[in-house]
Chains A and B, each alone.
Chain A
Amino acid sequence: MAFPHRPDAPELPDFSMLKRLARDQLIYLLEQLPGKKDLFIEADLMSPLDRIANVSILKQHEVDKLYKVENKPALSSSEQLCFLVRPRIKNMRYIASLVNADKLAGRTRKYKVIFSPQKFYACEMVLEEEGIYGDVSCDEWAFSLLPLDVDLLSMELPEFFRDYFLEGDQCWINTVVQALHLLSTLYGPFPNCYGIGRCAKMAYELWRNLEEEEDGETKGRRPEIGHIFLLDRDVDFVTALCSQVVYEGLVDDTFRIKCGSVDFGPEVTSSDKSLKVLLNAEDKVFNEIRNEHFSNVFGFLSQKARNLQAQYDRRRGMDIKQMKNFVSQELKGLKQEHRLLSLHIGACESIMKKKTKQDFQELIKTEHALLEGFNIRESTSYIEEHIDRQVSPIESLRLMCLLSITENGDARCSLDTHYGPEHLLTFSNLRRAGLLTEQAPGDTLTAVESKVSKLVTDKAAGKITDAFSSLAKRSNFRAISKKLNLIPRVDGEYDLKVPRDMAYVFSGAYVPLSCRIIEQVLERRSWQGLDEVVRLLNCSDFAFTDMTKEDKASSESLRLILVVFLGGCTFSEISALRFLGREKGYRFIFLTTAVTNSARLMEAMSEVKA
């Protein structure tokens, strides 16, 4: 249970500095608007903000009232309004409506917009068009890295996924680059860089440019983190589409972990109120079970409960002095443990109830069949039945995508014809993002390509092919899976209590593709010998290695690896890599645009009212 790290495993850098930095920047920005002011905060920024500051800090910097940015007229009577928002068009429209309403009423106030993590030109354009450019002052709060845990940094930008992988908008690349730049100024340069994916490559190039421009800043610093690995989410959709069965992943799938904390409802807390619980390494009980396969968790919790009972029981034979010691030294710890234990037992119970209702066993069986590529017809009928029974639209979509990608679109997904008009737009999105693959679009695309290339010179035609390649992408999952040995051969039962490879995060049925790629590249320190895999991933032009010859890196730092997931990573992937780290004496640090799971991916593709 909760395998210890190898004694030679390196220490993690202290990322709490990032929080202080973000908080101090915010305070500085608030001080730029002296005097009392009301603060309007965008909903998506509230939880990240909560993790680094609290109301009293805002109060100290003369924030009077707090409002949520929503489509309602503001009732604020303050003379100064400050808006803390993501750079989105609809936020600009909202601010414009407030300012213009004030103007109409002949009222003058001071307005300040703080964009986080950066300002976009499109936003300024809207301010200009609405006639309030100059009436509001703009600032940027470069808060782009939130340490959710000792080894997990999140940019809290779930929109990255849709904006880049669906719309092809590269607006967040610079944000990622700024974050990487900040890390290298704080923790030294990265001597070894690897990456795969179109976005990874672009981010890397832009980052290099930036470092060259600001030459000298990181030079001469000893690297603290020896390797950095950038990976695009679309290199591996399959892993993200699977149901999660390690505890943390399962908690995320069931209750949705938001910004590192989860709302446990009354069914978990066995009381009448909900409880917001931070889930990280500081929760001792959670820390021991987070990476465990769910089937091990019960046993562990029971054992813990028995131990706890025994410790409490010790007090029976105590004399006064011993009792005094017990109360002053141990009781608090025991109580804390008791509280955590009952929470996680409650959570397990609630997960079990939900999963039994959902027919989880059959679901998992179907997923494993899809991953292994057999009984496709049975899996297809299972999915069809799933749709017929109206179990859950998001679940059905997810299964269809999994079927389509693992079968390279050959499964003749006639299913979508039965989905009805409401999902027309969602289907179109899924196809564009490459989450649903079909045979036909590839051909159509080739036709478009050849038509366009007749119109332009060779050089431009090359670029077009580039741009299309991600669209025309066909998933070669089966072949990749064979090459990388993603389906472990198991003689007899896979012992989930003593995992032998990363496949344990999916019950021993499948090694996450993303994690396998990382493992292989780290082993070789390059992409050598992986040409065929890279080709099958449609990434021939987007797999790169860059090593600096500096030998300043300590052997300790060379066992620290920063993995950057562009488009989100799942808790299962994090668990798998933590496992790999323990096996090899590495430690992984995760930087993700957001923590994701299958439901979030599907929801990001749904079309909703503008």
Chain B
Amino acid sequence: TTTGLILFFQSGRPLGAGVRLGMGLRMNRTKGDEEEYWNSSKFKAFTFDDEDDELSQLKESKRAVNSLRDFVDDDDDDDLERVSWSGEPVGSISWSIKETAGNSGSSHEGREQLKSRNSFSSYAQLPKPTSTYSLSSFFRGRTRPGSFQSLSDALSDTPAKSYAPELGRPKGEYRDYSNDWSPSDTVRRLRKGKVCSLERFRSLQDKLQLLEEAVSMHDGNVITAVLIFLKRTLSKEILFRELEVRQVALRHLIHFLKEIGDQKLLLDLFRFLDRTEELALSHYREHLNIQDPDKRKEFLKTCIGLPFSAEDSAHIQDHYTLLERQIIIEANDRHLESAGQTEIFRKHPRKASILNMPLVTTLFYSCFYHYTEAEGTFSSPVNLKKTFKIPDKQYVLTALAARAKLRAWNDVDALFTTKNWLGYTKKRAPIGFHRVVEILHKNNAPVQILQEYVNLVEDVDTKLNLATKFKCHDVVIDTCRDLKDRQQLLAYRSKVDKGSAEEEKIDALLSSSQIRWKN
């Protein structure tokens, strides 16, 4: 039985038939509350039948194993680590820290719980570690005849290597006031973590030589140490000028400035280097640190004129416009919701604020709460679509998900109905009806609705697959009839309920003399 799953993972050479869809759209961010929106409404991919052979094989094994449980789980979990409520082994460090955190509120109740949960007070109960000897005693002399092989024994073939001297005194205490170190000696000492005065490198030439030595040694920590010194003792123009031709050092300085948050100097540096795009991006990055929506909006406004690439400029403008919109919508909807007069908000209270959500989430929101609004309002979906030039496909996908979630089947119907100039209506889906069906299924659409859209799928094989998967019996039966595929119809008969209308229908067809079966 190498169906489904095996194929699934095997060397699937790509099949020809990919779905051709043109444009993409804005992407979702990962954020807690945003996920809430999407968890319930996310467009999900194909679902393969759970009852696939391999999985049922797996289930069988599971049953077999579980059936042994009665025999196995009778007593202690002796060789299993003791695990706390959070899943951390009791006595582990991560576990203990969580306990401290829980305790810091110092509520009485909490403490009682902790005690009963075998925490601090009961460390003594934990098994003793295998070794209780300390490293310092080890360095002092011979090890005790201990419970495990000592380090020196393990290393007996190493010629008397001792780790003690380096450890013996914190490195900070190795002070060195000698002024005679050459640049290369100095750099070497720095690499060893020794404190080493750089003050004697006063001429520009000396400073640069020191920097070159550091760079040629490759240790970034030392390069940064020298840069810190140069930054302090050179004017920024000179520093920038020299770094422009020393790219490795320059990258270290840029990273250092980012890390310590010296935004001003960083922007000066980009300006000096004429790296306008990085300058703009770096400025723009600051918005991430602004929480207040109005302040963030004002800040984004200052980004609009910056020298981004043409593409990015448009995004920045959109970002500003979107937040401006969201602030208005949020104020309005919060008011509506608390007033309690609007049905949609009463029935479906908002799970999170719409502020700072991506465009697609905003569109979903507006399709959910403001679908019927006139184009003139800021919150209407059509207005959003126009303002942000949302491609048709993205719009349809989002609107479909929102309306299907509300089970507004008429809206769904309208979404795909087009009229030609003669007034005939026609169904058309820019995303392909197979996708429509899947999304409807995800939102638990009733079979009648599903059936209608499965029928609109053009490719016969796809149609048959979807109809079978979603149990649209009529579509399967009719398609088999149209294909004059008696064998398939016969096979399908075993999948419908005994004595059901579907079975009757199949039997009627099978016994019909009108049809010229191909097999």
In the bound complex, do residue A140 and residue B43 qualify as a contact, i.e. CB atoms below 8 Å apart?
no
Which residues of B, 405-434, contact A by the 8 Å Cβ criterion?
A: 431
Q: Report A-chain residues with C-beta under 8 Å of the C-beta of B38.
A: 390
In the bound complex, do residue B62 and residue A121 qualify as a contact, i.e. CB atoms below 8 Å apart?
no
Residue in chain A with minimal CB distance to B232: A125
Q: A57-B129, A122-B224, A345-B61 are in contact. Are A422 and B100 (CB under 8 A)?
A: no
Check if B55 is an interface residue, CB within 8 A of chain A: yes
Which residues of B, 16-75, contact A by the 8 Å Cβ criterion?
A: 16-30, 38, 42-48, 50, 54-55, 57-62, 64-68, 71-72
Check if A528 is an interface residue, CB within 8 A of chain B: no
In the bound complex, do residue A312 and residue B71 qualify as a contact, i.e. CB atoms below 8 Å apart?
yes
Query: What is the bound-complex CA distance between A502 and B198, given in angstroms?
Result: 53
Show the binding face of B for A, using Cβ within 8 Å.
5-30, 38, 42-48, 50, 54-55, 57-62, 64-68, 71-72, 78-81, 83, 85-89, 91-97, 100-101, 104, 120, 123, 126-129, 131-132, 134-136, 138-139, 148, 151, 154-155, 157-159, 161, 163, 167, 170-172, 188, 190-191, 193, 217-225, 228, 244-248, 251-252, 254-256, 258-261, 281, 284-285, 288-289, 311-312, 315-316, 318-319, 322, 358-360, 391, 393-394, 397, 431
Interface centre among A206, A221, A306, A342, by most chain B C-beta atoms within 10 angstroms, is: A342
Residue in contact with B221 in the complex, picked from A121, A273, A383, CB distance below 8 Å = A121
Residue in contact with B318 in the complex, picked from A163, A305, A421, A455, CB distance below 8 Å = A421
In the bound complex, do residue A302 and residue B8 qualify as a contact, i.e. CB atoms below 8 Å apart?
no
Output the least CB separation between B492 and chain A (Å): 23
Q: Report B-chain residues with C-beta under 8 Å of the C-beta of A281.
A: none
Q: A298-B54, A309-B68, A361-B8 are in contact. Are A67 and B101 (CB under 8 A)?
A: yes
In the bound complex, do residue B134 and residue A28 qualify as a contact, i.e. CB atoms below 8 Å apart?
yes
Interface centre among A378, A422, A467, by most chain B C-beta atoms within 10 angstroms, is: A422
Q: A56-B126, A167-B255 are in contact. Are A357 and B47 (CB under 8 A)?
A: yes
Query: What is the bound-complex CA distance between A439 and B161, given in angstroms?
Result: 54
Residue in contact with A308 in the complex, picked from B68, B161, B190, CB distance below 8 Å = B68
In the bound complex, do residue B312 and residue A424 qualify as a contact, i.e. CB atoms below 8 Å apart?
yes
Q: A294-B9, A381-B19 are in contact. Are A349 and B59 (CB under 8 A)?
A: yes
In the bound complex, do residue A173 and residue B123 qualify as a contact, i.e. CB atoms below 8 Å apart?
no
Q: A467-B247, A609-B288 are in contact. Are A56 and B228 (CB under 8 A)?
A: no
Residue in contact with A68 in the complex, picked from B67, B97, B259, CB distance below 8 Å = B97
Q: Report B-chain residues with C-beta under 8 Å of the C-beta of A364.
A: 8-9, 12
Check if A443 is an interface residue, CB within 8 A of chain B: no
In the bound complex, do residue A420 and residue B26 qualify as a contact, i.e. CB atoms below 8 Å apart?
yes
Which residues of A, 239-280, contact B by the 8 Å Cβ criterion?
A: 245, 263, 270, 273-276
Check if A522 is an interface residue, CB within 8 A of chain B: no
In the bound complex, do residue B11 and residue A49 qualify as a contact, i.e. CB atoms below 8 Å apart?
no
Residue in contact with A55 in the complex, picked from B68, B78, B96, B394, CB distance below 8 Å = B96
Q: Report B-chain residues with C-beta under 8 Å of the C-beta of A428.
A: 281
Q: Report B-chain residues with C-beta under 8 Å of the C-beta of A295.
A: 5-6, 8-10, 54
Q: Beta-carbon contacts of A214-237 to B below 8 Å, as 1s and 0s?
A: 001100111000000000000000
Q: A57-B129, A68-B97 are in contact. Are A361 and B157 (CB under 8 A)?
A: no
Query: What is the bound-complex CA distance between A46 and B254, given in angstroms?
Result: 30
In the bound complex, do residue A55 and residue B245 qualify as a contact, i.e. CB atoms below 8 Å apart?
no
Output the least CB separation between B261 and chain A (Å): 7
In the bound complex, do residue A167 and residue B6 qualify as a contact, i.e. CB atoms below 8 Å apart?
no
Q: Beta-carbon contacts of A392-427 to B below 8 Å, as 1s and 0s?
A: 111010000000000000000001111111111100
Query: What is the bound-complex CA distance between A361 and B97, given in angstroms?
Result: 42
In the bound complex, do residue A202 and residue B218 qualify as a contact, i.e. CB atoms below 8 Å apart?
yes
Q: A137-B172, A388-B393, A420-B358 are in contact. Are A120 and B14 (CB under 8 A)?
A: no
Q: Report B-chain residues with C-beta under 8 Å of the C-beta of A125.
A: 228
Query: What is the bound-complex CA distance between A507 and B14, given in angstroms?
Result: 13
Q: Report B-chain residues with C-beta under 8 Å of the C-beta of A509.
A: 11-13
Q: Beta-carbon contacts of A352-366 to B below 8 Å, as 1s and 0s?
A: 110111111110111
In the bound complex, do residue A205 and residue B170 qualify as a contact, i.e. CB atoms below 8 Å apart?
no
Residue in chain B with minimal CB distance to A52: B93
Q: Report A-chain residues with C-beta under 8 Å of the C-beta of B89.
A: 276
Query: What is the bound-complex CA distance between A174 and B11, given in angstroms?
Result: 42
**What are 20 pairs between A and B in contact, CB < 8 Å?**
A56-B128, A59-B123, A68-B97, A119-B171, A138-B170, A163-B255, A167-B258, A169-B251, A174-B191, A216-B159, A270-B66, A306-B61, A375-B18, A381-B21, A387-B25, A418-B23, A460-B245, A507-B9, A507-B12, A607-B288
Output the least CB separation between B296 and chain A (Å): 12
Output the least CB separation between A349 and chain B (Å): 6
Residue in contact with B288 in the complex, picked from A67, A383, A493, A608, CB distance below 8 Å = A608
Residue in contact with B85 in the complex, picked from A61, A273, A416, CB distance below 8 Å = A273
Q: Beta-carbon contacts of A586-610 to B below 8 Å, as 1s and 0s?
A: 0000000000000000000001111
Residue in chain B with minimal CB distance to A169: B255
Q: A163-B255, A305-B61, A365-B12 are in contact. Are A67 and B100 (CB under 8 A)?
A: yes
Query: What is the bound-complex CA distance between A466 and B251, given in angstroms?
Result: 13
Q: Beta-carbon contacts of A58-78 to B below 8 Å, as 1s and 0s?
A: 111100011110000001000
Residue in chain A with minimal CB distance to B15: A365
Check if A338 is an interface residue, CB within 8 A of chain B: yes
Residue in contact with A356 in the complex, picked from B48, B223, B393, CB distance below 8 Å = B48
Residue in chain B with minimal CB distance to A311: B68
Query: What is the bound-complex CA distance between A306 and B123, given in angstroms?
Result: 42
Residue in chain B with minimal CB distance to A259: B94
Chain A interface extent, by class: 35 or more
In the bound complex, do residue B97 and residue A41 qualify as a contact, i.e. CB atoms below 8 Å apart?
yes
Check if A103 is an interface residue, CB within 8 A of chain B: no
Residue in chain B with minimal CB distance to A397: B27
In the bound complex, do residue B246 and residue A89 qualify as a contact, i.e. CB atoms below 8 Å apart?
no
Output the least CB separation between A267 and chain B (Å): 13
Q: A338-B65, A460-B245 are in contact. Are A359 and B46 (CB under 8 A)?
A: yes
In the bound complex, do residue B45 and residue A357 qualify as a contact, i.e. CB atoms below 8 Å apart?
yes
In the bound complex, do residue B256 and residue A122 qualify as a contact, i.e. CB atoms below 8 Å apart?
yes
Residue in contact with B68 in the complex, picked from A186, A220, A338, CB distance below 8 Å = A338
- 15 further A-B contacts with Cβ under 8 Å, apart from A163-B255, A368-B11, are A68-B101, A118-B221, A170-B223, A173-B220, A185-B158, A206-B217, A338-B68, A352-B58, A361-B48, A364-B12, A389-B45, A391-B44, A423-B29, A424-B284, A424-B315
Q: Report A-chain residues with C-beta under 8 Å of the C-beta of B7.
A: 361
Check if A209 is an interface residue, CB within 8 A of chain B: yes
In the bound complex, do residue A173 and residue B218 qualify as a contact, i.e. CB atoms below 8 Å apart?
yes
Q: A28-B136, A298-B57, A346-B62 are in contact. Are A420 and B315 (CB under 8 A)?
A: yes
In the bound complex, do residue B319 and residue A217 qualify as a contact, i.e. CB atoms below 8 Å apart?
no
Q: Report B-chain residues with C-beta under 8 Å of the C-beta of A203.
A: 218
Query: What is the bound-complex CA distance between A339 and B244, given in angstroms?
Result: 61
In the bound complex, do residue B128 and residue A31 qualify as a contact, i.e. CB atoms below 8 Å apart?
no
Query: What is the bound-complex CA distance between A124 and B29, given in angstroms?
Result: 36
Q: Report B-chain residues with C-beta under 8 Å of the C-beta of A270.
A: 66
Residue in contact with B100 in the complex, picked from A65, A168, A390, A493, CB distance below 8 Å = A65
Q: Report B-chain residues with C-beta under 8 Å of the C-beta of A206.
A: 217-219
In the bound complex, do residue B14 and residue A46 qualify as a contact, i.e. CB atoms below 8 Å apart?
no
Q: Report A-chain residues with C-beta under 8 Å of the C-beta of B163.
A: 21, 25
In the bound complex, do residue A122 and residue B259 qualify as a contact, i.e. CB atoms below 8 Å apart?
yes
Query: What is the bound-complex CA distance between A6 and B334, given in angstroms?
Result: 70
In the bound complex, do residue A31 and residue B136 qualify as a contact, i.e. CB atoms below 8 Å apart?
yes
Residue in chain A with minimal CB distance to B94: A46
Output the least CB separation between B45 and chain A (Å): 3
Q: Report B-chain residues with C-beta under 8 Å of the C-beta of A105.
A: none
Query: What is the bound-complex CA distance between A322 and B136, given in angstroms?
Result: 52
In the bound complex, do residue A273 and residue B25 qualify as a contact, i.e. CB atoms below 8 Å apart?
no
Check if A47 is an interface residue, CB within 8 A of chain B: yes
Output the least CB separation between B295 and chain A (Å): 15
